[in-house]
């Protein structure tokens, strides 16, 4: 190689290396976070690393970057990192350093919310359960043992990040850290100690000297220099507690979480985009989607009460890592439009004026003459026409238009330019094994470490959450003459439990069960026999509570009363105060059935089905292809499942969502609430459970389930999730032209027209057919379009010509292309297409 060229390359490498380690100075002022002295408009999204696999991380991060994110936010999950005191885990899904480095490699920043209380629908809010047993401990208040542990873990994480040079101050990606989480929502319950606890949390965090700012969310009294930030469905009305702090939004809920027994929440993207635009319109400069990718609560990590295994959250990237369209695409366009305003946004506060009732303009104008404007219609009923700077603008109800040059609309939150791509689950031909073997879990006490105690024990204090299961067992003598045995009248077992699931076995037979988010009260008619009878009660937790003041003391299990009543005479005897035998966990958990390796498995037929407490095992080959994999557990009851020894979480397809309150489609106009838009009423809350591809080998995989209720495992099947091959979109003449037609210096030619753009999501596919196309006034929504009164007869042939055979196509939505089918009417082009 020629010498000059060599020097060039060496110096290029040097420059690159230097760039990688060059420290950035992160600070803040009234307007924004400053990186190296420059105010920044930042868009952030939450991805919780243990809710996916390291193999999925690069793709999730890339899709976030492509969606226009600058920052990835994650909590740090103490219970995962320190499952036993002083025994740390930073491997696999808990490889935090790797996750942060991958984000850095993609060129994005990190917001590290250490907590260490995180809420997050995570078991026990992220606290390891051993913390509860530290002598004298009281959580989240002025309590020395708690503070010592909180400080130790927080310091541990900060030290780890520092060692790896991951703070921006060291050249890394972390620009911000969070301490505590929404304590301000519950602090009243903690009395006077709350204030000093929060002050202590702040100074403890500051003493760790990360070199980047800290925030506290939902903490109005966060002491300086902590930035108090907002969480909610809307944060445009929020103001930080000092004029020297920027207006920041740490949780913009992109949907909501699912609970077992609940319908599925969703949040229309028009409303989500509206909330974001309103925030930047009213002076915000940093917002974070909670969640951008929700993922899966593998293992026993889901919080309580009764949080489902899926943590999909209706996020822009779905549980399986696929884009949710048009949500992802519409937000991407929104981010572009906001970024076109950055220059003006960071320069000044907005000047906010009313343009009429429910109509508002915000103008950001710099001294050097650049100007950006946001026009909002916060009315929920009617569209409006406003005059702004002498020009007229049509604003749909509940929408914001963004004008990066104070003249032309780059984006309107209610006008979607991205196609719907319906992802689908397809049955997989991969056999889930016709060969099943089984082991029966003994009913009642079977382990040597069982113990006796008078009275009923609270479950979490007894199991320390080592298992979901606790046996409460009693032997009692029923004499022949007792009222409980009379002909024609049954005895009734009355029991109360703090949750979440309870099974009652009488003389080895399942007599009844119940479950609930709150207290469970059961009256179970039972048959007793003269002489010895056994009562075996199985208490089951489904995720420990994660939210609320003193959530850690919520309790679980059968705490009583437990009585035996005579249905005939009404007389009763108290069982609660008797001598009970306890067993923590299942025998099969101790003998390691989850891995599938044990010699206990029985393969002789018939396979026992529809009986409680059975372990099942089968082997299978990987479903073909590379699409994400799920198991459909329809046919089973409730339990936990493992693939090759890795827990894919709790399954519970028999938990049915209530039959009322669903609204699908849902009117996006008006304030969103967690229960506003629900679907899937009357159906199982969750039948499909994610099995990460990387956990499956080509052949010889093991699936183990522990079935509590009774079911038929031979009915379960694989499904793979495909990106949508059907595209659907309607763009009107009043839509803004594509945001991509703007140049980076916020200019657009005013001759640019709206277009309809289609693109097959899979790179090897092309548009194979146009199933519907109408330029005019088409009716209906995606999947059910039909011609309206006004329709250009050229629609179908023109769209076919432009699109069929190509991966993507762009059709201008104008009479120049389609002719004039009806004068004086705003027309739309609606298209449905298939890719293959
Ligand atoms: C917030 C909390 C988050 C999460 C969210 C609901 O209150 O900070 O951790 O629990 O609610 O998904």
Among the ranges given (112-116, 309-313, 354-358, 525-529), the one the predictor scored with the smallest mean pLDDT = 525-529
Give me the pLDDT at residue 4, please.
58
Residue bearing the bigger pLDDT, 70 or 488: 70
Q: Is the peptide bond before 509 cis (omega within 30 degrees of 0)?
A: no
Ligand 1 near 219 CB (within 6 A): no
- Say if strands 71-75 and 109-115 run parallel, antiparallel, or are unpaired: parallel
Stated pTM of the model = 0.96
Output the CA 198–ligand 1 centroid distance in Å.
19
Calpha distance 90→81 (Å, rounded): 6
Which atom of ligand 1 approaches the CA of 121 most closely? 10
Answer whether residue 16 shows pLDDT above 60. Answer: no
Supply the residue whose CA is at minimum distance from atom 11 of ligand 1: 120
DSSP 622: P
| CATH superfamily of this structure's domain 753-835 | Rhamnose-binding lectin domain (RBL) (2.60.120.740)
Strands ordered across the beta sheet of 33-35: 26-28, 33-35, 38-40
Answer whether residue 18 shows pLDDT above 90. Answer: no
Output the CA 131–ligand 1 centroid distance in Å.
21
Give ∠ CA 63-64-70 in degrees, rounded to 5: 145
Output the CA 114–ligand 1 centroid distance in Å.
14
Tell me the three state secondary structure of residue 499.
Answer: coil
Ligand 1 near 257 CB (within 6 A): yes
Ligand 1 near 119 CB (within 6 A): yes
Ligand 1 near 123 CB (within 6 A): no
Question: Which two structure tokens, joined as six digits, stand for 125?
Answer: 């809010």
For tokens 């005897």, name the residue. Answer: 573
Confidence of residue 251 (pLDDT cuts 50, 70, 90): very high
With beta carbons less than 8 A apart as the criterion, state whether 499 and 517 touch. yes
Calpha distance 514→499 (Å, rounded): 9
Pocket test for ligand 1, best of 182, 256, 289, 548 (most atoms within 8 A of CB): 182
Calpha distance 790→785 (Å, rounded): 14
Q: pLDDT digits over 749-760, tens only?
A: 878 999 999 999
Ligand 1 near 120 CB (within 6 A): yes
Tell me the three state secondary structure of residue 344.
Answer: helix
For tokens 């101050």, name the residue. Answer: 169
Give me the pLDDT at residue 749, please.
84
Ligand 1 near 231 CB (within 6 A): yes
User: Looking at the DSSP assignment, which residues form a beta bridge with residue 72?
Assistant: 45, 110
- Residues marked active site are found at 182, 251
Output the CA 652–ligand 1 centroid distance in Å.
23
Give me the pLDDT at residue 287, please.
98
HEC assignment per residue over 635-677: CECCEEEEECCEEEEEECCCCECCCCCCCCCCCCCCCCCCCCC
Calpha distance 407→152 (Å, rounded): 54
Pocket test for ligand 1, best of 78, 115, 118, 121 (most atoms within 8 A of CB): 121
* 327-340 helix and 269-281 helix, angle to the nearest 10 degrees: 20
Which atom of ligand 1 approaches the CA of 257 most closely? 12
Output the CA 670–ligand 1 centroid distance in Å.
22
Ligand 1 near 252 CB (within 6 A): no
Output the CA 651–ligand 1 centroid distance in Å.
23
With beta carbons less than 8 A apart as the criterion, state whether 591 and 535 touch. no
Kindly give the residue spans of alpha helices, DSSP state H, lying in 123-268. Answer: 144-163, 193-207
Pocket test for ligand 1, best of 76, 119, 228, 307 (most atoms within 8 A of CB): 119
Give me the pLDDT at residue 427, please.
82
* Domain 26-417 annotated CATH 3.20.20.80: yes
Give me the pLDDT at residue 310, please.
98
68-101 burial, b for 16+ CB within 10 Å, e for fewer? bbbbbbbbbbbbbbbeeeeeeeeeebbbbebbbb
For tokens 């130790």, name the residue. Answer: 152
Give me the pLDDT at residue 696, please.
98
424, 430, 434, 436: CA torsion to nearest 10: -80
Calpha distance 491→341 (Å, rounded): 73
Give me the pLDDT at residue 570, please.
81
Which atom of ligand 1 approaches the CA of 118 most closely? 9
Q: Mean pLDDT over residues 200-206, rounded?
A: 98
Q: Do domains 26-417 and 423-440+590-722 have the same CATH topology?
A: no
Calpha distance 566→581 (Å, rounded): 24
549, 550, 554, 555: CA torsion to nearest 10: 170
Give me the pLDDT at residue 14, please.
54
Ligand 1 near 182 CB (within 6 A): yes
Supply the residue whose CA is at minimum distance from atom 9 of ligand 1: 120
Ligand 1 near 696 CB (within 6 A): no
- Say if strands 509-515 and 562-566 run parallel, antiparallel, or are unpaired: unpaired
Ligand 1 near 181 CB (within 6 A): yes
Give me the pLDDT at residue 487, please.
63
Among the ranges given (16-20, 120-124, 300-304, 821-825), the one the predictor scored with the smallest mean pLDDT = 16-20
**Per CATH, which fold does 451-585 belong to?**
Jelly Rolls (2.60.120)
Pocket test for ligand 1, best of 78, 113, 251, 311 (most atoms within 8 A of CB): 251
Supply the residue whose CA is at minimum distance from atom 5 of ligand 1: 120
Tell me what the pLDDT averaged over the chain comes to.
Answer: 95
Give me the pLDDT at residue 567, please.
78
Question: Which two structure tokens, joined as six digits, stand for 17?
Answer: 């290396």
Question: Which two structure tokens, joined as six digits, stand for 416?
Answer: 């979607």
With beta carbons less than 8 A apart as the criterion, state whether 182 and 203 touch. no
Residue bearing the bigger pLDDT, 483 or 560: 560
Answer whether residue 556 shows pLDDT above 90. Answer: yes
Q: pLDDT digits over 276-321, tens only?
A: 999 999 999 999 999 999 999 999 999 999 999 999 999 999 999 9
DSSP 264: E
Residue 685 to residues 224, 265, 403, Cα–Cα distance (Å): 44, 11, 42
Q: Where are the domains of the chain?
A: 26-417, 423-440+590-722, 451-585, 753-835
**Per CATH, which fold does 423-440+590-722 belong to?**
Jelly Rolls (2.60.120)
For residue 227, which of 250, 207, 253 has the smallest C-alpha distance?
250
Ligand 1 near 75 CB (within 6 A): no
Give me the pLDDT at residue 8, please.
64
Confidence of residue 485 (pLDDT cuts 50, 70, 90): confident
Pocket test for ligand 1, best of 51, 120, 181, 304 (most atoms within 8 A of CB): 120
Give me the pLDDT at residue 481, please.
65
Percent of the chain with pLDDT over 70: 96
Supply the residue whose CA is at minimum distance from atom 4 of ligand 1: 120
């Amino acid at each position: 190689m020629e010498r000059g060229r060599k020097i060039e390359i060496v110096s290029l490498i040097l420059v690159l290396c230097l760039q990688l380690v060059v420290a950035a100075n992160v600070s803040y002022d009234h307007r924004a976070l400053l990186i190296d002295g420059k105010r920044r408009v930042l868009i952030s999204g939450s991805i919780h690393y243990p809710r996916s696999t390291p193999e999925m991380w690069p793709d999730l991060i890339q899709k976030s970057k492509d969606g226009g994110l600058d920052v990835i936010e994650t909590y740090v999950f103490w219970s995962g990192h320190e499952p036993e005191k002083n025994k740390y885990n930073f491997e696999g899904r808990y490889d935090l350093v790797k996750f942060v480095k991958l984000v850095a490699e993609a060129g994005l920043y990190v917001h590290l919310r250490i907590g260490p209380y995180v809420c997050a629908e995570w078991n026990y809010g992220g606290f390891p359960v051993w913390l509860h047993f530290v002598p004298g401990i009281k959580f989240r208040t002025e309590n020395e043992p708690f503070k010592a542990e909180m400080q130790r873990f927080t310091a541990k994480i900060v030290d780890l990040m520092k060692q790896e040079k991951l703070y921006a101050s060291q050249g890394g990606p972390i620009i911000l850290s969070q301490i505590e989480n929404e304590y301000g929502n519950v602090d009243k319950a903690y009395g006077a100690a709350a204030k000093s606890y929060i002050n202590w949390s702040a100074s403890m965090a500051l003493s760790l000297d990360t070199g980047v700012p800290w925030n506290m969310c939902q903490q109005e009294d966060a002491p300086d220099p902590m930035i108090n930030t907002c969480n909610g469905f809307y944060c445009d009305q929020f103001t930080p507690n000092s004029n020297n702090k920027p207006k920041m939004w740490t949780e913009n809920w992109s949907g909501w979480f699912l609970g077992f027994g609940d319908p599925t929440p969703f949040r229309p993207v028009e409303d989500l985009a509206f909330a974001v635009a309103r925030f930047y319109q009213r002076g915000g400069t940093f917002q974070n989607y909670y969640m951008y990718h929700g993922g899966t609560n593998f293992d026993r990590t889901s919080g309580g009460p009764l949080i489902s295994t899926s943590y999909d959250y209706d996020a822009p990237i779905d549980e399986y890592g696929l884009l949710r369209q048009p949500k992802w695409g519409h937000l991407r366009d929104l981010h572009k439009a906001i970024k076109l305003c950055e220059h003006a946004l960071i320069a000044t506060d907005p000047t906010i004026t009313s343009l009429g009732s429910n109509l508002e303009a915000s103008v950001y104008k710099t001294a050097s003459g650049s100007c950006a404007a946001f026009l909002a219609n916060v009315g929920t009923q009617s569209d409006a026409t406003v005059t702004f700077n002498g020009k007229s603008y049509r604003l749909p109800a509940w929408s914001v238009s963004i004008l990066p040059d104070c003249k032309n609309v780059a984006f309107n939150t209610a006008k979607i330019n991205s196609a719907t791509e319906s992802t689908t689950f397809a049955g997989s031909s991969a056999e889930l094994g016709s060969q099943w073997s089984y082991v029966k879990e003994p009913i009642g006490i079977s382990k040597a470490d069982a113990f006796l105690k008078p009275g009923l024990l609270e479950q979490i204090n007894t199991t320390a959450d080592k298992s979901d299961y606790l046996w409460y067992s009693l032997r009692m003598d029923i004499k022949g003459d007792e009222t409980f045995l009379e002909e024609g009248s049954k005895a009734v077992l009355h029991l109360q439990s703090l949750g979440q699931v309870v099974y009652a076995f009488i003389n080895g037979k399942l007599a009844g069960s119940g479950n609930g988010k709150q207290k469970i009260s059961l009256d179970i008619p039972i048959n007793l026999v003269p002489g010895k009878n056994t009562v075996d009660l199985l208490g089951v937790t489904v995720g420990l509570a994660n939210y609320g003041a003193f959530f850690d003391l919520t309790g679980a299990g059968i705490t009583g009363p437990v009585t035996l009543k005579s249905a005939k005479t009404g007389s009763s005897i108290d069982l609660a105060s008797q001598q009970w035998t306890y067993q923590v966990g299942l025998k099969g958990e101790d003998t390691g059935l989850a891995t599938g390796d044990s010699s206990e498995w029985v393969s002789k037929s018939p396979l026992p089905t529809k009986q409680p407490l059975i372990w099942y095992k089968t082997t299978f080959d990987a479903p073909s292809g590379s699409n994400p994999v799920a198991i459909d557990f329809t046919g089973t009851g409730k339990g936990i499942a493992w693939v090759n020894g890795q827990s894919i979480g709790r399954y519970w397809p028999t938990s049915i969502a209530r039959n009322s309150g669903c609204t699908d489609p849902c009117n996006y106009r008006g304030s969103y609430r967690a229960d506003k838009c629900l679907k899937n009423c009357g159906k199982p809350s969750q039948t499909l459970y994610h099995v990460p591809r990387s956990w499956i080998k080509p052949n010889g995989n093991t699936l183990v389930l522990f079935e509590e209720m009774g079911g038929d495992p031979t009915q379960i099947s694989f499904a793979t999730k495909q990106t949508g091959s059907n595209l659907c979109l309607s763009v009107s003449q009043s839509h803004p032209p594509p945001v991509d037609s703007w140049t980076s210096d916020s200019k657009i030619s005013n001759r640019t027209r709206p277009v309809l753009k289609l693109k097959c999501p899979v790179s090897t596919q092309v548009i194979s057919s146009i199933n519907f196309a109408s330029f005019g006034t088409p009716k209906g929504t995606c999947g059910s379009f039909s011609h309206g009164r006004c329709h250009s007869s050229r629609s179908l042939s023109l769209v076919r010509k432009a699109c069929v055979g190509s991966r993507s196509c762009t059709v201008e939505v104008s009479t120049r292309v389609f002719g004039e089918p009806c004068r004086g009417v705003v027309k739309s082009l609606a298209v449905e297409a298939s890719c293959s």
